[in-house]
Structure 1
Amino acid sequence: MLDAKQEMVLVDVRSFNDYGMGHIPGAINIPLNSLEMLSKEQLPDKDAPIYVYCSTQDCSNEAVELLSGAGYTQVYNAGSYQDWPYDTTAPISC
């Protein structure tokens, strides 16, 4: 979808600290432990294609289940950050 430049939402469900150490460009950060609470606000379109990633596929799978259970219709596991084959951002410095 990135190569085809299709509309999608990319969600990093890692912690704020991990996100700050580097993330996929354009990804929004909603940590898994806050996903249920923040999804309504930060992901208002329940029919938008949403791809989630984390440090391990286990957390991504949990995020997919949580969002699907909340009524999101197109939620996909993008895998782990470490396996991402495209560019990522550099760590955010203070």
Structure 2
Amino acid sequence: MLYNCNWYTDTSAILLEPKAFSAKIDKGGVQLIDVRTPKEYAEGHIENAININYYSKNFEDSLKLLDIKKPVYIYCRSGKRSAKSVSKFRAVGFDSIYELEGGMLNWRSEGFKANTN
């Protein structure tokens, strides 16, 4: 039996490649969070994403405004900031955390669109 150590630990999220990530968020009932800067977000983001800047001094306070009972889907540019943010999501009480593998770079390379409005 094979185990994927990235699947779930206290500090990790479930990594989804763009196609699977898109399928999950398209079903609705999720909170889609872009942890990039407002400038990066304005240059192109996934439709219906909420921008919560990882580098903001009130990042964790902003996470507390979300519904911890609903799954959260997170992404950044390449996957580094979203991976670092997982522990902060867990700290405020999230259990169901999904992360876009490779971030927006991978999203776009797979042909998925980004909104600029």
TM-score, structure 2 normalization: 0.68
2:9 equivalent in structure 1: none
- 8 Å contact kept, 1:50–1:74: yes
Asked whether 1:16 is paired with 2:42, we answer no
Q: Conserved in 1, the CA contact under 8 Å of 2:25 and 2:32?
A: no
Q: TM-score, normalised by structure 1?
A: 0.82
User: Which of 68-77 and 24-33 deviates more?
Assistant: 68-77
Please, which of 76, 79, 98 is the counterpart of residue 54 of structure 1?
Answer: 76
Q: 2: CA distance between counterparts of 1:6 and 1:24?
A: 13
The reply on whether 1:39 has 2:63 as its aligned counterpart is yes
What is the one-letter code of the residue matched to 1:70?
V
5+ long unaligned stretches in structure 1: none
Change in 2 beyond 3 A, CA 1:38/1:2? closer
AA at the equivalent of 1:87: K
| Structure 1 position 75, deviation (Å) | 1.3
CA-based RMSD: 1.5
SS at match of 1:18: helix
Does 2:100 correspond to 1:78? Answer: yes
Q: Percent identity?
A: 32
When Rg is computed on C-alpha atoms for both structures, the one with the higher figure is 2
Unaligned runs of 5+ in 2: 1-23
